[in-house]
Structure formats: C-alpha cells, structure tokens
Amino acid sequence: MISCKEAVSRLWVYLDRNLERVREQELEEHLGLCRHCCGELEFARQIRERLRATAAGTEIPPRTRERLERFVRRLSGGGTGP
Amino acid sequence: MVCERGAMMSDLFEQMIRPHLDFLYSLAVRLCGNRTAAEDLVQDALLRAFRAFPGLRNREHPRLWLTRVLTSAFHDRRRSEDPDASTLEVDTEFDLFDRITEEDPFPYSDRVHLDFLDLFDDAKILEVLQALHPDLRAALILAYLYGFTAKEIGAILDRPLGTVLAWLHRARKQLERELWEYASTRHLLTSRTEARV
C-alpha cells in the first residue's frame, strides 16, 4: 500500500480527476484504510469549495458595463454609441 | 467589398464578445484584485482580441480563446510592472492539515480543521489569494474559481500539461502556507484559543 505522504501528495490531483487510473486505485485503496488521509481529503475538498465561492461578487457594475460595451462598439467601428 | 467584409467581421466580433463580457470582467477582477485594474485589463484584452479576431480559425468555442487573450494581457502587464516577480520559491513540504493537527489551535473542538477554515470568510480568502505569486494565482483561479481543467489551462497559458500540474501543486502549497501565515500573524488562532480558556 502507498504511504500517507504519497497519498496526500495525490489528493488534490485526485479531486481534480487528473490521476491516472492505477494511481487513483492505489489512493482509493489507501483511503479505504486510513482515517487520517480521509480527513485530509475532506479538508482539501473544503478549501476548494471556499475558493470556488469567491468567484461570486464580481458582477459588472452598470456604468462599467456601459463603458465596456461602448468600447467594443468603438472597436467594431460603431462610433461612440448612444 | 473590403469595407463590407470588414463591417461583417466587426459585427461578428461584437456578437462573439457580448455573451462573454461578464465572465471576462469577473476573471479580470479576481486576477487583478481590484475593479479599476480589472476594467483596464478587459479593455486591453478586447483590443488584443479584436486585432487577432480576423486570423482566428475556430470561432465555435471563444471562451477558451478569450481567456487566453485576457490571461496573456494580465501576464504582460504584471511582468512590465514587476519584472522580479519571476523568482519563485515555494515550500512544497508544508502541509496545512498536519500543521493544524500539531498546533491544535482549538483544543476543545472535534472539527479542528474545519474550525480553522471557518476563520476565513470570502474577503480573507481573497486577501490570501492576492498574496500568491501571479503565475500560481492565475492557475489556481482558472482551476478552482472558474472550473477549467488542467488541459484547458495548458492551452490558455500555453504550457504543457506537466507544467500546469506542477504549478497547481505549488499554488496549493503556497495557498496552504499563506492561510497559516495569515491566521498566525493576525493572531486569529491565539485569540480563539484564549477566548475559550
């Protein structure tokens, strides 16, 4: 069985679904027997969730949208717009 | 005839951009860390995209291409602003989970690791993100905020898959280190512990 250090080094890649099949099976076998690494897997999952949540709150303010849309129209030769 | 073709090209460009404007702005805000710089970056990217658009062969999936243009503009900017930022040292041995276990900052908790993460609201997570090296931050943001696969990130950053996976690993390690440093230097851990004693 792979060591905890080796298992931990694969956790994020595992969550990203980028592990090769054999390495994934080795990790899952380890996780089936190791509570510590299961805890670390859940911790990695939680950090990913926290990161994902920060994509919110970046909506374009209306005036910025107007400026950017005007910029696109100018690039496209549509003048300065209304 | 040439003018007609140019006008058609411009219309196509405008049609292509519109559905992706929100996404481009959102990504720019997270890359730059503030809205003023983000707007400048989006304008820069739009100009670059417009110039490159006539030579774009595959227009079926513009999101990836536009992300590449914007990310490239971001990297060019930060290189011109801070050429020394290319030096990068990351302690890849650091393990936040183990550090929390060893230090046990919440001795009365049975969910100590999650309690640690609860110290960070979105604003604090964003502060920590901004402390990361720009190359690593960009990879992390593309992967975990916007859901691009490592292969797609390779296409966006023009790097082989192995390099992207290595960057993501280093990015995660630097993030773990910065989370710990943030909590330690702002006394978030000691104040919690003392409050419960």
What is the residue extent of each domain of chain A?
Answer: 4-75
Which pLDDT score, from 0 to 100, does residue B88 have? 65
Same CATH topology for B2-83 and B96-196?
A: no
| Mean pLDDT computed over every residue of chain B | 88
Which residue, B18, B5, B20, is CA-closest to B54? B5
Give the mean pLDDT of B167-186. 92
pLDDT at B176 over 60: yes
pLDDT at B3 over 90: no
Which residue, B173, B98, B38, B168, is CA-closest to A61? B38
B146: which chain A residues are within 8 Å (Cβ-Cβ)?
55
pLDDT below 50 — which residues of chain A? 80-82
Which pLDDT score, from 0 to 100, does residue B194 have? 52
Domain ranges of chain B: 2-83, 96-196
A54: which chain B residues are within 8 Å (Cβ-Cβ)?
30, 122, 125-126, 129, 145
A46: which chain B residues are within 8 Å (Cβ-Cβ)?
113-114, 117
> What is the tens place of the pLDDT at every residue in B84-117?
665 567 778 888 988 998 988 888 888 889 999 9
Which pLDDT score, from 0 to 100, does residue A50 have? 93
Q: Of the ranges A70-79, B18-27, B48-57, B162-171, which is most confident?
A: B18-27
A42: which chain B residues are within 8 Å (Cβ-Cβ)?
113
Which pLDDT score, from 0 to 100, does residue B67 have? 97
Question: In this structure, which topology does domain B96-196 adopt according to CATH?
Answer: Arc Repressor Mutant, subunit A (1.10.10)
Nearest CA in chain B to A8: B95
Which pLDDT score, from 0 to 100, does residue B197 have? 42
Q: Does B126 touch chain A (CB under 8 A)?
A: yes
Q: Choose the closest CB to A46 out of B18, B117, B146.
A: B117
Domain B2-83 has CATH 1.10.275.10: no
Show Cβ contacts of residue A60 under 8 Å, excluding neighbours closer than 6 positions. Answer: A68, B21, B22, B25, B26
From the number of C-beta atoms within 10 Å of its C-beta (0-12, 13-18, 19+), residue B197 rates as: exposed
% of chain B with per-residue pLDDT over 90:
63
Alpha helices, H only, chain B:
2-17, 21-32, 35-52, 62-81, 96-103, 112-118, 122-130, 134-140, 150-157, 161-185, 188-196
Q: Does B12 touch chain A (CB under 8 A)?
A: no
